[in-house]
Chains A and B, each alone.
Chain A
Amino acid sequence: MRLLLVDDDPEIRVLARVALERDGRHKVDVAASADEALERARNGLPQAVVLDVLLPDVEGPQLLERIRALPGLEDVPAVWLTARDGGPGPVGLQGARGVIMKPFDPLTLSARVERLLSRGTSDGRALRDGR
């Protein structure tokens, strides 16, 4: 799967990318900022996005909205990465399929992302889309 990983922390980008690519099933592109993420998304057309909730220049949910406004990415599934307790806030998953808390276990990251991506969104939209 082509994944786009967005996180402003370089150490997390390195480890998450290694962790997601290690079994050879995924190809990961990384971005450190909103602008970079939009550019990489536009050019790379990722099949799923893994985003940090808290980026320096933009809120994660807002960025996800902008990514989904790009042609061909309207329904791109997403997973949040966050170091905050309680996920991305009161709105819940905000259109993503799951949350992975930092710190995470790099050895199981790939499996967890896959598992989250394979299920529907909280509002069931992905389930409907799947049928």
Chain B
Amino acid sequence: MEELKSWYREQLAARIDALEAASAALEGEAAGEARATVRRIAHSLRGSGGTYGFPLITEHATHVEESGDADLRLRLERLLDTLRETAGHGASAPKSVLLIDDDPEIAEILRWHLAQQGREVRVAPCAEQAEAILASEPVSLIVLDLVLPDTDGRNLLMRLRERPSTANIPVIVLTVRDSALARSECFALGADEFFEKPFDPEAVATAVAAKLQRAAEMSQDTRHDPLTDLPNRAGFLEAFQRARALAARQRDPLSIGFIDLDHFKRVNDAFGHAMGDEVLRRAADILARSLRQSDILARWGGEEFVALFPSTDPEGGVQALENAATRFRVERFGADEGEFGLTFSAGVAPVHVEDSLDEAVARADYYLYLAKSTGRDRVVSESAELVRPRRKILIAEDDDLLAELVRRRFTREGFEVVHVVDGESVLEAIGSNGVDPTISLVILDVLLPEMDGFELLARIRERRALTQVPVIMVTVMGNEEDVVRGLSLGADDYVVKPFSPTELLARVHRLLERG
């Protein structure tokens, strides 16, 4: 049951996203539709929350489902709070506010005001104890009295700012010194706010809340890749969502390109990582200059880039990347350490309205795979794909008789069935250096010799081009832990032994039609 609960917690992320999107739309033109979406999701959460052992979800979901339009937003916020808390980042302890002040009365009154905001407060009467707390606990903000028994508060502030682990913690300074010098000095040393005693504790509490809010916003500014100065994956996701919505509204085509530098590892191996970084920067620059203003380029990770082509069909995307490829072919990298040329391979695919980013990328990645496997330094899209392979199913099952039954039944249905008996052979079958993109579904016995099905499942899901391939687990009766573990690792369905090949066939058809 615990595994099921944590699986359910993971599933909540998608519900939270959907509810947040609907919440944002509550003010817009499609408010009626948004309200219906909110109520529909609430209805579903009402049923599932308590079932999974989260009665608060059921309670708040019920309030949302039954609320009038006027109360909907407020009640939705409460439901979202509950969901976020449940989905929570699990073990991460709440960070506390550290109060460094030797006056117990001030400490007490501030602690009370901050507790009203639901904050955890730790008090240190001297610098030494403050350092001890900072070394052992996560601290979100520091309130610092400049007059401390063991040191000048300004020394402590300076030390905090010099140390990377504390350099970014907001600091609010309290002081009785009525001098302009101390004030400007403290700001120069990196204080974020300054209060003179006697101060209004509520004003301090408000400043704490404001600083923490700002710090939380700053920490979310993680959409940028500092090396290439391009958006990173998170930044691209936002651009993707906007572009997809726009394309849907204007009924415009939208294409996505997935780009991988050829033999980049050799650069790193031969010239070191500093040169590798330099090459990535140059490559990003050339790509960015080759694309149009309206195109969006981002670093996906490693030597992979992803590009979005608004109002452009895949042929247009191919054209844009061909231009970039032409530039690459004349560029020289490396200079002093020895010159070398660099090429890239890319795949371009259309983006459909209902595509998630992962789905769109997986499609483009498939054409990238074709580009790589047909010689590199080329851009491939759907139009280049001439033959559509037969639907191929991989079954990993050490029971030969069962596998044979399945093979016969599926072959009759026009599938090509590849049967392997252990984990190593599965990895071989899905391709050791690339992947076999012709596999349309995997059937995996969780009990395999040597490498178990779960480990395999995890490995399959690691391979990007295979993340969308449906996986059906085969397990034995009564092993619900297997089911949950498999589902959390990304399996799509399961069958319980003994099963009939017809039953399995029905599940296979359903999964394949879904895609």
Q: How far apart are B63's CB and chain A's nearest CB, in angstroms?
A: 13
Among A72-80, A87-95, A99-107, the one that faces the other chain is A99-107
A54 to B478, CA, bound (A): 30
Q: In the complex, are the beta carbons of B58 and A103 less than 8 A apart? A: yes
Q: In the complex, are the beta carbons of B55 and A103 less than 8 A apart? A: yes
CB-nearest residue of chain A to B510: A36
Q: How far apart are B130's CB and chain A's nearest CB, in angstroms?
A: 46
Main secondary structure of the interface of B (DSSP, over half): helix
Interface string of A27-63 (1 = CB under 8 A from B): 1010000001001100110000000001000000000
A102 to B58, CA, bound (A): 9
Question: Contacts A18-B4, A21-B477: A12 and B484 contacting too (C-beta < 8 A)?
Answer: no
Which residues in A have their C-beta under 8 angstroms from that of B480? 18, 21-22
A14 to B488, CA, bound (A): 12
A23: Cβ under 8 A from any B Cβ? yes
B1: Cβ under 8 A from any A Cβ? yes
Question: Contacts A18-B4, A21-B477, A22-B478: A43 and B502 contacting too (C-beta < 8 A)?
Answer: yes
Q: How far apart are B145's CB and chain A's nearest CB, in angstroms?
A: 51
Q: How far apart are A21's CB and chain B's nearest CB, in angstroms?
A: 6
A9: Cβ under 8 A from any B Cβ? yes
Q: Give the contacts of B46-72 with A (CB-CB under 8 A).
A: 46-52, 55, 58
CB-nearest residue of chain B to A14: B487
CB-nearest residue of chain A to B15: A11
Question: Contacts A43-B506, A44-B503: A11 and B11 contacting too (C-beta < 8 A)?
Answer: yes
Q: In the complex, are the beta carbons of A9 and B506 less than 8 A apart? A: no
Which residues in A have their C-beta under 8 angstroms from that of B50? 102-104
Which residues in B have their C-beta under 8 angstroms from that of A29? 503, 506
Q: How far apart are A5's CB and chain B's nearest CB, in angstroms?
A: 13
Q: In the complex, are the beta carbons of A23 and B48 less than 8 A apart? A: no
B194: Cβ under 8 A from any A Cβ? no
Q: In the complex, are the beta carbons of A54 and B52 less than 8 A apart? A: no
Q: How far apart are B300's CB and chain A's nearest CB, in angstroms?
A: 29
Q: How far apart are B440's CB and chain A's nearest CB, in angstroms?
A: 20
A83: Cβ under 8 A from any B Cβ? yes
A24: Cβ under 8 A from any B Cβ? yes
A83 to B61, CA, bound (A): 11
A76 to B494, CA, bound (A): 25
A111: Cβ under 8 A from any B Cβ? no
Which residues in B have their C-beta under 8 angstroms from that of A22? 478, 480
CB-nearest residue of chain B to A102: B47
CB-nearest residue of chain B to A10: B11
Which residues in A have their C-beta under 8 angstroms from that of B46? 83, 102-103
Q: Give the contacts of A81-131 with B (CB-CB under 8 A).
A: 81-83, 102-107
A15: Cβ under 8 A from any B Cβ? yes
Closest 10 CB pairs of A and B: A103-B50, A102-B47, A83-B47, A103-B51, A11-B48, A24-B477, A9-B44, A18-B480, A83-B46, A103-B58
Additional pairs, 20, CB under 8 Å, beyond known A9-B44, A12-B51, A103-B48: A11-B11, A11-B44, A11-B48, A12-B48, A14-B4, A14-B7, A15-B48, A15-B52, A18-B480, A18-B483, A21-B496, A43-B502, A43-B506, A44-B503, A44-B506, A102-B46, A103-B46, A103-B52, A103-B55, A105-B51
